[in-house]
């Protein structure tokens, strides 16, 4: 049976520890969108990625949205700011 990604992410308090409600909602929404097409083994990687985004945001004061944008840019899913037509 496939594990429910929403339950996995929502039950993990450390996933959003130190984020504002808005940042936590942004991160969880993004992770859940990715989790729709993820395999069970990929869910663990997404969870770890979420933890790292939270840590970077909390420790260095970086906005969650910008960190997500960097990940998407690295994955080739977004264009670099300033290069968009």
The DSSP call for residue 56 is H
Q: Is 15 in contact with 51 (CB distance < 8 Å)?
A: yes
- CA–CA gap between residue 9 and residue 13 (Å, rounded): 8
How far from 78 is each of 11, 21, 81, CA to CA, in Å? 29, 25, 9
* Digit-coded pLDDT (tens) for 2-27: 578 888 898 999 999 999 999 999 99
pTM for this model (two decimals): 0.84
* Digit-coded pLDDT (tens) for 22-55: 999 999 999 999 999 888 889 999 999 999 999 9
> For the residues 60-79, what does the mean pLDDT come to?
89
The DSSP call for residue 15 is G
């Amino acid at each position: 049976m496939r594990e429910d990604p929403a339950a996995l992410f929502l039950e993990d308090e450390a996933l959003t520890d130190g984020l504002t409600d808005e940042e936590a909602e942004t991160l969880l929404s993004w992770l859940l969108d990715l989790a729709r097409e993820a395999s069970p083994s990929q869910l663990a990687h997404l969870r770890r990625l979420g933890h790292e985004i939270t840590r970077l945001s909390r420790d260095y004061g970086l906005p969650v949205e910008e960190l997500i944008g960097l990940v998407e840019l690295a994955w080739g899913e977004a264009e670099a700011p300033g290069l968009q037509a």
